[in-house]
Amino acid sequence: MRPNIETFTLQFLWGVLLCDVGSEPKFREFVNRWGKTRRAVQTACIVVGLYVAGYPLERPEWAAWSAQLEWIGEYLFPPGSDWPRRWTAVGWDLTVTGIWLSPTLQSIFSNKMFMWIGRNSFAVYLTHGTVLRVFAARLIYGWSGEPWTVEKNEKGEDVYHYLPRAGPAAFMIAIPVFFVVEYTIAHFWTTYIDAWCAKATKWLEDTMFDSEDEKSAMQYA
């Protein structure tokens, strides 16, 4: 669990830094004065970011590009780190930086559809694991509920009884359906549950702390 918290915290702080620096008019003027350099840097960030974000979950030594990243990771990350998650975080931070440096990409990603996706992104983060395990897995592996088992053969070797998986057509249907269901749930979560939590938080604040008007009245009493 610790790598998840560390990665989330670092990405959050990086986002805060980009937001604060990007809101400085002098910095934006400085960046815009160097148009060619900015385009070169943003392109490099996006290309390298997408490259390293593709670090595989398992067996990085099977391909030359991921083996290279594995070698570089030994010098960048602490021992015992979850390298797939670390490389994904680095990749997306670089990609976001490239988008942040590009006024054109900022305009594209500021349309209503992307703003709606961003508005529901935290709810997606909270609910996607449950939706994957409960709903998407059923679309791909069926509804039988048959457990995954491991047995021993005569030599004492493990025999894995994998569940039969549906074919490519099922994935073509399951993945779009999963996203529709996931973002529908996230939309309702953001609209109703987040709103209820905000009201509950406000009620706790009003209950536990004196308002500014009450403090002023007590001072002049």
Report the distance separating Cα 87 and Cα 51, nearest Å.
Answer: 10
Closest-CA residue to 118 (of 145, 98, 96): 96
Cβ atoms of 87 and 73 closer than 8 Å: yes
Confidence grade of residue 214 (pLDDT, cut at 50, 70, 90):
low
pLDDT at 8: 65
Residue 151 has pLDDT above 70, yes or no: yes
User: Tell me, what's the pLDDT at 7?
Assistant: 65
Q: Do residues 186 and 123 touch, judged by C-beta distance below 8 A?
A: yes
Question: What's the pLDDT score for residue 146?
Answer: 66
Express each pLDDT in 1-40 by its tens digit.
344 566 667 777 887 888 888 778 888 888 888 888 889 9
Q: What region, left, alpha or beta, does residue 80 occupy, with left being phi > 0 and alpha being psi -120 to 50 degrees?
A: left
Confidence (pLDDT) at 220: 53
61 has a pLDDT exceeding 80: yes
Residue for token digits 């350099």? 37
How large is the average pLDDT for residues 115-124? 91
**For position 3, what pLDDT does the model report?**
46
Tell me the average pLDDT of the chain.
84
Banded model confidence at residue 177, pLDDT cuts 50, 70, 90:
very high
Instruction: Tell me the average pLDDT across 188-200.
Output: 92
Q: Which residues pair with 152 in a beta bridge?
A: 158
pLDDT confidence of residue 143: 75
How far is Cα 48 from Cα 53, in angstroms, rounded to an integer? Answer: 8
Residue 138 has pLDDT above 80, yes or no: yes
Alpha helices (H) along 25-159: 25-33, 35-53, 64-76, 83-101, 103-108, 112-119, 121-131, 137-141
Quick check: 107 pLDDT over 90?
Answer: no
Sorted by sequence, the CB contacts under 8 Å of residue 152 that are 6+ apart come out as 158, 159
pTM summary value: 0.64
Domain spans in the chain, listed from the N-terminal domain onward: 2-110, 121-212
